[in-house]
Structure 1
Amino acid sequence: MLLICRLWKHVIRKGDTVVDATCGNGNDTLAMANMVKDELGKGCVYGMDIQKDAIKNTSFLLDVSLNPIERKCVKLFSICHSRMAEVLPQKNSVRLVAFNLGYLPGGNKTIITKSDTTKLALKAAKELLVPGGVISIVAYVGHPGGREEYETVQAFASELPVECWVCSQIQMLNRPLAPVLLFMFKR
């Protein structure tokens, strides 16, 4: 996570709009909120998760970690990440869309993100992102369905035109079940 947050800090500017497409327990959402908040209250985080427990956990973490003005800049939605375009304001310029694929840590491990909805979410994210923005993905390959979802994401990134996108991945060679980090930078 440290590597991802460092990358985000190089991309995100104060006042930006960013998306946490899979809130989980809220740690990434909180990190993003701290990166985008500015004195004018312009920065905004849109967070979503299909599980109500994830939204509840994220909301609690934000409530205890942010002041009321900062907290108003984070909007949470109990929806699938494939529907992100439905909750973002029209003509919104998004600097970052982040995904942590798999299951809710500490939650029901049978409820996981799926290849088909993740691909739809990536298509939506691609359209929302401003030049200079990034789609960041942590793909967990060690659970049932995880490898397939990773391969779907990898195929999606591989098909993006090189004139407009720079795509990369980081993976541990001596730990085949470790999460894979994927980044899609929009030129």
Structure 2
Amino acid sequence: MSAPETIRSDVASVARTRFTVALGDITKLPVDAIVNAANSSLLGGGGVDGAIHRAAGPDLLAECRSLNGCRTGQAKITMGYRLPARHVIHTVGPVWNGGDHDEEELLAGCYRNSLSLARERALKTIAFPAISTGIYRFPAEPAAGIAIRTTLAESKDGAFEEIIFCCFGDDMAALYDRLLPQMLSGA
């Protein structure tokens, strides 16, 4: 992992998959794929979506135009272009509307479908942002729990070498630092 990333936790897990919490910029990670918390158009936006599009360059936008958008909970894959990551997996997280509109299942679908695309392409190292916790207002602790539970369940087959939870801020990294070991011990 290149600077300015900081590894917060590096915990070995079941089935040979290493789970890592990192603090920093997901666009700097030299992994097989980074996951983009995209909007349904896939044409860029704010937050991590905008940062990924800026760092990848205009070819990413051109490829995304050919994908005809993406539904909430689903995922699509592109090349990484100017990013150190070889691929970008774009997933559309749910907007939080109080929790009574299938938000939890849709968020779990983001992680499941992203890992399914990675598995199909034999990608071994994947980095996730905290999907839906920014402008989509999904509460951080339940979102982190869903992220960890879903990636643990989807990685039991040993298909992945490393899954990174890349957090932009200290509070989110501290949350993953606390939850990840607890959930790994129960896996």
Query: Given the two structures, how large is their TM-score scaled by the length of structure 1?
Result: 0.47
- Larger RCO (alpha carbons 8 Å, 6+ apart): 2
